[in-house]
Amino acid sequence: MLFHILAKLSKKFGSVLKMPAFYKWFYLAQILAGQAAVAHLVQASAYLARSSISLPPPSSFLSPTSLEFTLIFHHVPLTISVAIGLLITWKYWSWVITDRKR
């Protein structure tokens, strides 16, 4: 939700200052964060289902309870999403921190 708000604010701010359309990267960050959230929910439901009926852990590479699944579908997209958000936010809004009255 934060990336969506930042995209809308940055679009308006960028149009006033005639900046390139960097705000579109926020939408990519939003998609990646959404994918990470869905992967987290899938993994949490798999853990809950497995613990409620006490099954042995699955051995496949992309099973929702494997560490590889967590890394590929949760941690990596979330890290990329936050990095994109940080860079684009800095591009548009760094003046808030660095602007000093003279």
Ranges of each domain in the chain: 2-98
Rounded Cα gap, residues 94 and 102, in angstroms = 17
SS3 38: helix
Question: Per-residue pLDDT tens for 37-96?
Answer: 999 998 888 777 766 666 666 556 556 667 888 899 999 999 999 999 999 999 988 888
Amino acid at 55: L
- Give pLDDT, residue 58: 59
- Give pLDDT, residue 56: 62
pTM above 0.85, yes or no: no
- Give pLDDT, residue 30: 97
Residues in the chain: 102
User: Minimal CA–CA distance to 10: which of 97, 90, 99, 100?
Assistant: 90
